[in-house]
Amino acid sequence: RPCSSTAKVYCPEGSERPLPVALGYYAIDSYYAVGGGFGNQKICPRGSYCIDGTKHLCPAGRFGSSLQQWQSSCTGICSAGFYCPAGSISSRQLPCEMAAVFCPPGSAAPLAVSPGFYSIGFNPNNESNLKSFEDSSTSSGAVGMGWVSGTGVGRVAQMECDLGHYCPSDGLRRVCPAGRFGGSTGLTSSQCSGPCALGHFCPPGSTSPREQPCGHSSLFCPPGSALPQRVHSG
């Protein structure tokens, strides 16, 4: 008689009764299955999990590196600095290498860096740095661990733009230009917080409108000065 149409069981040739599909296997059709049903089972491939005789892709943000997975958690979550679409087979399936995006652990897709923030990354050859980040409860813990901004691969987090800097929406941190200052965090424009104050000058990366006094009486500094100017005689 016909085998059951459910994928939970299969009937190989010569079966007296339906056999349950094993955990980590899925039911497949067979040329000798008659009247519907499944004639065999097959081991679950990498990037998938199989339960109740049905094969499913490992969810996005996770990966399945071994055969015969039967739980939706698969092998584990994607590594920081990488993202894992559904069906991934490696914790480092795809690199998160553009400065304008970042990928915390378990990323299904890259996340866009917010204006006023910049992305930080890690040296992919330094496993200890990657492990330290994945063990950290907050992205702020990454500062001082050898993380870099603007270069390298493996973008793992975003950080608010520092004083004296501005961060447009490209994920890069830039120094406020000479003649201007950055007196607050999270700035997004090269205008920064404004021009340097009268009687003072502001080198690149200044954090105050009165960063440096103009100094000697032979010098003068109009608003927005990058350097003192010499007073002309007469």
Q: Which pLDDT does position 70 carry in this prediction? A: 95
Does 34 score more than 90 pLDDT? no
pLDDT in the model for residue 145: 32
Please give the model's pTM, rounded to 2 decimal places. 0.76
Residue 130, Cβ density class (10 Å: 0-12 exposed, 13-18 middle, ≥19 buried)? buried
pLDDT band at 2 (very low <50, low <70, confident <90, very high): low
Which range among 26-30, 123-127, 164-168 has the greatest average pLDDT?
164-168
Cα separations in angstroms, 131 against 39, 96, 134, 205, 225: 46, 17, 5, 32, 46
Rounded to an integer, the average pLDDT of 20-25 is 93
Stretch 159-176: mean pLDDT: 92
The Cα 83–Cα 77 span in angstroms is 9
Give 35's pLDDT tier (boundaries 50, 70, 90).
low
pLDDT band at 139 (very low <50, low <70, confident <90, very high): very low
Q: What is the DSSP string of 130-198?
A: HHHHHH-SSGGGGTTTT-EESSSS-EEEEEEPPTTEE--TTS--EEPPTTEE--SSS--STTTTEEPPT
Write the pLDDT tens digit of every residue in 52-106.
999 999 999 999 999 999 999 999 999 998 999 999 999 999 988 888 999 999 9
**The pLDDT of residue 108 is above 70:** yes
